[in-house]
A and B are shown apart, each in its own frame.
Chain A
Amino acid sequence: MMRELHVSLNQTQKVRLQAAFQHLSDIGSQASSGLLVSVSDTIPVNNEDGILKGHGTSERDGQVVATVCGVVERVNKLVYVRALRARYKPEVGDIIVGRVIEIAPKRWKLEINFSQDAVLMLQSMNLPDGIQRRRTAVDELNMRTIFEENDVICAEVRGFQHDGSLHLQARSQKYGKLERGQLLRVPAYLVKRRKQHFHDLEQYGVDLILGCNGFIWVGEHVVPADNEMVEDQESTLKDKEQSYTPLEIRQNICRIANSVRLISALGFAISVDAIIDTAEASKSSNVDIKDMLGAEFYVQTAEREVQKRISLLKKKRG
């Protein structure tokens, strides 16, 4: 269960961390009853008729074998393997954060941690003037005023086209360019699909976007702009340049970002609750932002997670 760590631990810390992980794996083995398989393992299907072989499975010599390492899942007669550590696989409706890498005719290409670049068409996003209309050649020429290369943007997965390319859409005020914050990359499997991926952490004045593709955005809170854009756009632009993010908020952003880094380094699932929890803990125990990634707090976080899971387990058993 040990993950690649970049922290140097002293002897006692090492022992404590090992004990914590031991606990976790104990609890984990109690809780999950799923069958773990690795590549080419046979999946027992007791010869029922009409077994459906889903993702991560294949048929060989009349037997169902796994093609990835993971947990066997069954839904009625469908058998599939949920990979433990896999690349991000988009599904329709996922919220993703990505970086623009290329501007092509009528489209932006985004790097989103998938096996191919995603496509955001000019027509599948709202224009800055908020008017619904056909996109003209002028709009196409002005594409760089909306997003430039290396901009970080947030969008939703619209679906796969017939040619297999992945299309995104950003038809909402909350999608679009992300500024004044940090982009973090974590393994995509740590981010679980939820009802909510946009979070406004009011006590910190920070926006948190947990992209399903493992890109996480921590940035200054922005008030969603009104649909009718103000006419004197230039003056607002100037205002923006002049205004700056206050130091306190910058610190908060860093604190949250470090919490995310810490949780992902420990290999725990990333959720808002976990992030806030960690950030609060660091604040209450007076850990400096820069020390959050240090050895001591690292071990403490692991131990806190153990406590949390134990109490959860107790609650479940009543």
Chain B
Amino acid sequence: MDLLSDDEKKLPQVSNILPLLKRGIGVHHSGLLPILKEVIEILFQEGLIKCLFATETFSIGLNMPAKTVVFTNVRKFDGDKFRWLSSGEYIQMSGRAGRRGIDQRGICILMVDEKMEPSTAKMMLKGSADFLNSAFHLSYNMLLNQLRCEDGDPEKLLRHSFYQFQADRALPDLEKQVKELTRERDSIVIEEEDSLKDYFNLLQQYRSLKKDVHDIVFAPKYCLPYLQPGRLVSLLYASNDKRPSFFTHEPVTWGIIVNFQKINNLNEAADKRPEDSQYTVDVLTRCMVAKESETKKSIKIVHLKEQGEPLVVSVPLSQIVSLSVVRLYIPKDLVPLEARENMLKVLSEVYSRFLKDGIPLLDPEEDMKVQSNSYRKAVRRIEALDRLFEKHEIRNSPLIQQNLQVFHDKLELSAKIKLVKKSMRSSTALAFKDELKARKRVLRRLGYINSEDVVMVKGQVACEISSADELILTELMFSGSFKDISIEEMVALLSCFVWQEKLQDAPKPREELELLFSQLQETARRVANVQLDCKVQMDIDSFVNSFRSDVMEAVYAWAKGSKFFEIMELSSVFEGSLIRAIRRLEEILQQLTFAAKAIGETELEEKFQEAVKKIKRDIVFAASLYL
């Protein structure tokens, strides 16, 4: 520990952990300072730490067995939600229990504090290890390095990759799948298949037309004025079974509008016009409430006549079938149950009064002033289809529903077969072949290689850069971005390439750095656009946003010569993560030095060297205790 300077000994992480270690308690996670992590690992191996709190990092790679492993929870947070541990993770972690030659048996304690299905438990405890799948992907750097060798044929490399091997091996399985699916499809025999098909197509057409009409009428600009509280609306309600129904008329119920509101979608930009945004309508209707667990309730809208509680639910516009002319008076307070029950009573009365010819509806053209040619056209076609339905011979067949259901299944099977066949085709061809072509196109377009696949000056630079995005770095270099800025600013700019974590409340970097960062984003956007043009699949925004400016300020200060505890105050990240980032930064700087040498730019080369000197000091590059 004497490697550290006095200032660094005062780091909160260091001073806080000492009393714990003295009592034989340790903490181990990826955010620790590397040197602390190593101290703890060594102490643990020596048996000086009696109780260690560790994250999953501890379970992988290191040979650190313990007598007992305790799981404090059986779920883990994997970035977006809490999920059950996978069997692979369980094997890794529980496998740490029991030291060879010391313990008779290893003990593994699972703390389960919620209900766990037997099947999930079985999956977790008895499941096999995670599958080994190839995560191989093409990178430009790899491609360029292959291209500049005489016999470096990227296709050959791909053909011998593990990924290709796995794809080849999956082929017989897929074939079998196709066979089975085909057999299943052929085993379905329907009488009068042709006329049924005809009918089915008609039905499909009818549906899509209805949907068109619905979309027009319920475009917010037409229907919003009519969504006043008290208006009766008919709603779709899902029937119990999940299979699609084949009636021409779908089950509807009635409800009373209470309110409507816009869905505030956080991702959407604020400048969208109001017509485009989504609306939900709060409707009072009869619902069936099913309790699934203590916290969750599922609410299902049921028909008025059925049993259920009167509730106000929000439904999307698409679920509303039609609006009626009738408006009811709503009491101000709908919270008490009786008030709602009363409302529904009134509603059912209205319903039974109009039972004969239905509750009068708002006429889209006359009442709602819907004026659109496509609407009129669609309505006319619906009328025509209605007549066709009536004429259709099969309509009166008693088995029509079942037959349609079977027919639908058959169609679904056919679609599945198509899908499997498609994936078969893509795996018989060379995996990545299209991507390889597209990526070569990108390199050609950006001038990294020429039309004969010979690596050009830019390509030589990109060849040297392997631990960050080579295209963007090369573009930045060739646009002279590194030339005019100070060394500290350059280091801060490069930090965007190594930092991937997302911080919620990251402070904005100061103006000069912000300017550099926007330069970087601009370059990234340009490169991303070229890639998209060349049919490399990617999402521009997420690509641009993958460069984070969060630690620019901290790294800037570090390059300026600040103490480590000072830069820790500048950012709210873990010490260990920051150290990792700076170490990677040094690696990139080394590669950039070589790249600058390759194009013969000595000044830049010296600048990168200087930068390496500036960041390579103190605790960040403290020597490992294992060496």
Contacts and interface: CB of A to CB of B under 8 A. Distances in A.
Interface of A: 48-57, 73, 75-78, 80, 91-93, 95, 156, 172, 174, 193-198
Interface string B448-487: 0000111111101001000000000001011111111000
B148 interface: yes
Interface stretch (B118-126, B262-270, B393-401, B597-605): B597-605
Given A95-B150, A156-B150, A52 B454 contact: no
A51 B482 CA distance: 10
Nearest to B602: A53
A54 B479 contact: no
A260 B454 CA distance: 23
Given A156-B149, A195-B453, A91 B460 contact: yes
Contact of B600 (A56, A77, A93, A156): A56
A52 B599 CA distance: 9
A127 B478 CA distance: 42
A223 B475 CA distance: 44
A77 B480 contact: yes
A50 B151 contact: no
A143 to B, nearest CB: 25
B478 to A, nearest CB: 4
B601 A54 contact: yes
A73 B599 CA distance: 12
A51 B197 CA distance: 70
Contacts of B149: 93, 156
Contacts of A50: 479-484
A198 B457 contact: no
Determine which residue in A75, A172, A174, A196 has the highest number of CB atoms from chain B within 10 A of its CB, and name it.
Answer: A75
Contacts of B600: 53-57, 80
B447 interface: yes
B561 interface: no
Contacts of B457: 54, 73, 75, 78, 80
A78 B478 CA distance: 6
Nearest to A52: B601
Contacts of B477: 52
A75 B447 contact: yes
Contacts of B47: none
Q: Give chain B's interface secondary structure class.
A: loop
A156 B150 CA distance: 8
Contacts of A56: 600
Interface in B119-177: 148-152
Nearest to A56: B600
Contacts of A52: 477-478, 480, 483, 599, 601, 604
Given A50-B480, A52-B604, A193 B454 contact: yes
A271 to B, nearest CB: 11
Given A50-B479, A93-B150, A193-B454, 14 more contacts: A49-B484, A51-B483, A52-B477, A52-B601, A52-B604, A75-B447, A75-B458, A91-B148, A156-B149, A174-B151, A194-B454, A195-B452, A195-B454, A197-B150
12 contacts: A50-B479, A50-B481, A50-B482, A52-B483, A54-B600, A55-B599, A56-B600, A57-B600, A75-B447, A76-B479, A77-B480, A156-B149
Contacts of A49: 480, 483-484
B599 A78 contact: yes
Nearest to B453: A195
7 nearest A-B pairs in the assembled complex, by CB-CB distance = A50-B480, A55-B600, A93-B148, A50-B483, A76-B478, A77-B480, A54-B600
Nearest to B149: A93
Given A93-B148, A194-B452, A53 B478 contact: no
B449 to A, nearest CB: 10
Contact of A198 (B150, B452, B480): B150
Determine which residue in B455, B475, B480 has the highest number of CB atoms from chain A within 10 A of its CB, and name it.
Answer: B480
A93 B449 CA distance: 14
A12 B85 CA distance: 91
B454 A54 contact: no
A158 to B, nearest CB: 10
Contacts of B454: 193-195
A226 B500 CA distance: 48
B150 to A, nearest CB: 5
Nearest to B146: A93
A92 B148 contact: yes
A50 B485 CA distance: 9
B479 A77 contact: yes
A56 B457 CA distance: 14
A75 B447 CA distance: 9
B486 to A, nearest CB: 13
A49 B519 CA distance: 15
A38 B426 CA distance: 56
Contact of B599 (A80, A172, A197): A80
Contacts of B599: 52, 54-55, 78, 80
A53 B151 contact: no
Determine which residue in A78, A194, A195 has the highest number of CB atoms from chain B within 10 A of its CB, and name it.
Answer: A78
A276 to B, nearest CB: 18
B478 A75 contact: yes
Contacts of A78: 457, 478, 599, 601
Nearest to B478: A76
A52 B456 CA distance: 16
Contacts of A48: 480
B194 to A, nearest CB: 58
A197 B150 CA distance: 7
Determine which residue in A93, A156, A196 has the highest number of CB atoms from chain B within 10 A of its CB, and name it.
Answer: A93
A196 B456 CA distance: 16
Nearest to B600: A55
A92 B452 contact: no
A243 to B, nearest CB: 28
Contacts of B458: 75-76
A78 to B, nearest CB: 6
Contacts of A54: 457, 599-601
Interface in B476-510: 477-484
Determine which residue in A49, A76, A174 has the highest number of CB atoms from chain B within 10 A of its CB, and name it.
Answer: A76
A78 B475 CA distance: 11
Interface in B84-115: none
A61 to B, nearest CB: 16
A160 B169 CA distance: 41
Interface string B47-69: 00000000000000000000000
